[in-house]
């Protein structure tokens, strides 16, 4: 019992329109908690994996597709769209009259690095069979 009290705002019972309808990528947060707000953006199995790939330098759709987790094409397309719309990465056309884009982290996206680093530490500690990320990744600040 470490952090009793002081963590959640007072919220009148009458106010709790269903938070669940306020889902990922919806405008209205399900609470005023920064953790919940973050999870509304990145709380699924794939978004932070794609962000990881952006951190290690991947840019194109086929780069993400080739990652060892083998994401499927419809989920990748859907997630890249959400990531761009959430401002975590920008889309840059790379052909002349393009419908092909490269993705690049924004400042908002780069600020997710401590989360990825913390997950790496937790994952390595509790699942020792996972690989150890490069020291440069673990030490980076952005």
Partner DNA sequence: CGCTGTAACTTGCGCATTGCAAGTAACAAG
Partner DNA sequence: CTTGTTACTTGCAATGCGCAAGTTACAGCG
d(CA 29, CA 31) in angstroms, rounded, equals 5
Residue 90 touches which member of DNA, its own copies, none, C-beta under 5-8 Å by kind: none
By the rule CB under 7 A, 97 interacts with DNA: yes
Question: Smallest distance, Å, CB 115 to DNA?
Answer: 19
Which residues from 13-52 bind DNA, rule CB under 7 A?
Answer: 18, 20-21, 23, 44-46
Of 77-85, 91-99, 122-130, the segment contacting its own copies by CB under 8 A is 122-130
Cβ atoms of 25 and 86 closer than 8 Å? yes
d(CA 40, CA 114) in angstroms, rounded, equals 18
Residue 80 touches which member of its own copies, DNA, none, C-beta under 5-8 Å by kind: DNA
By the rule CB under 8 A, 27 interacts with its own copies: no
Can you spell out the DSSP letters for 22-53?
S-TT-SS-SSS-HHHHHHHHH-STTHHHHHHH
Among 11, 38, 39, 60, binds DNA (CB under 7 A): 60
Burial class (CB in 10 A: 0-12, 13-18, 19+), 84: middle
The per-residue b/e assignment along 14-25, b for 16 or more CB within 10 angstroms, e otherwise, is eeeeeeeeeeee
Residues in touch with its own copies (CB under 8 A): 1-9, 11, 16, 18-20, 23-24, 29-40, 43-46, 48-49, 52, 55-57, 67-72, 108, 111-112, 114-127, 129-134, 136-137, 140
């Amino acid at each position: 019992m470490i952090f009793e009290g002081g963590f959640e705002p007072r919220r009148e019972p009458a106010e709790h329109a269903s938070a669940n309808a306020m889902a990922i990528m919806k405008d209205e947060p399900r609470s005023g908690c920064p953790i919940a707000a973050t999870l509304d953006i990145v709380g699924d199995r794939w978004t932070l994996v794609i962000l990881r790939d952006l951190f290690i330098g991947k840019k194109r759709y086929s780069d993400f597709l080739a990652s060892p987790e083998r994401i499927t094409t419809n989920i990748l397309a859907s997630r890249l769209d959400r990531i761009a719309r959430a401002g975590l990465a920008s889309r840059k056309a790379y052909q002349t009259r393009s419908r092909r884009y490269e993705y690049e982290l924004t400042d908002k996206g780069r600020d997710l690095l401590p989360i990825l680093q913390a997950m790496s530490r937790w994952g390595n500690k509790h699942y020792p069979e996972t690989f150890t990320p490069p020291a440069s990744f673990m030490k980076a600040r952005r």
